[in-house]
A and B are shown apart, each in its own frame.
Chain A
Amino acid sequence: MIDLDDTDRAILRALVADATRSAGAIGRALGLSQPAAWRRIRRLEAAGILAGRRVDLDAERLGFGVTVFLGVKLATKGRVGLEDFERAVAAIPEVQVVQHVLGLYDYRLRVSARDLADFERVLRRRIMTLPGIGNVEANVLLGEERRPGPLG
């Protein structure tokens, strides 16, 4: 693990707000030369702290009006069961996120669909037919916000 100073944290905050900014623009905003800013960004990437970037889209206007989170309990357990389930669920294009969790459910899924009818189709044909699937709870996403997190 590498130690971060205030400048590194400021760079992280700037890139979380807008990942398309160049090293030169970030340097100017923070009083660093372009090469100095570039070196710091490269170091954060090399350490795996900057783990890529995401495009922010208005999914609704692209025809994906519904996002549903599913809590999934497996009916059958055991190592083979988990691997089969994970492989099959990760291959569904409408499933954006698959997380193995501890608690009331075994997995958390984020599913993107065109509308509720489309979601029902995905649920019936793709999710409920997954190997080992048990109890499923659905919650429809109304809104979400990312927070900067503990970056000082």
Chain B
Amino acid sequence: MHIDDTDRRILRQLLADPGLATAELAERAGVTAATCWRRLERLAEAGILKGQHAVIDWRRLGWAVEVSLRFTLDKTHPRAFDEFLAAARDVPEVIEIQTFLGRVDVRLNVIARDMGHYQHIYRDRILTLPHIADIESLMLVSTIKDTGSLPL
């Protein structure tokens, strides 16, 4: 599917304010509501626009600690990735899983209620994950920027 400037204009406005009604989005993108609706349908059908998800602020729910855990896996084991990822999905406090090409193989974003709780999760649920060769942790202090936007 070819994406033109009109699509990009609509997507830019949608990324900036995902909650907009189609009529308002059309106005901001400078197209008619009918065009806007048709373009959104087309982008969705092509699988480019996959939907929207709500963002939860875990700190507001009492999950005050967030740690980025970076793993190097023992790659001599052929199923290291699959088995590690399957086990990580079973830990409810893991809110994000990413795989990488680089010095780090996998990153898990883990939340906890406080440091005591984190220590408990780390010892009982994280260190017991299979095929870990090395772990580094980065504790989140603050988020300065977080946008789902792209420089379209």
Contacts and interface: CB of A to CB of B under 8 A. Distances in A.
Contacts of B152: 62
Contacts of A16: 53-54, 56
Interface centre among B54, B95, B151 (most CB of A within 10 A): B54
Contacts of B46: 61
Chain B contact-residue range equals 35 or more
Given A98-B145, A99-B144, A144-B98, A55 B49 contact: yes
A139 B100 contact: yes
A138 B48 CA distance: 27
B133 interface: no
B92 A149 contact: yes
Given A49-B56, A97-B146, A105 B98 contact: no
A142 B97 CA distance: 11
Contacts of B96: 144-147
Contacts of A97: 143, 145-147
A101 B52 contact: no
B51 interface: yes
Contacts of A63: 3
Interface in B49-89: 49-58, 60-63, 68, 89
A104 to B, nearest CB: 6
Nearest to A85: B144
Shortest Cβ-Cβ A-B pairs, 9 listed? A139-B102, A15-B54, A103-B138, A51-B57, A93-B151, A101-B138, A56-B50, A139-B100, A98-B145
Interface of B: 1, 3, 11, 14-15, 18-19, 46-58, 60-63, 68, 89, 92-104, 107, 111, 136-152
Given A19-B51, A98-B143, 5 more contacts: A57-B150, A62-B152, A99-B143, A112-B150, A149-B111
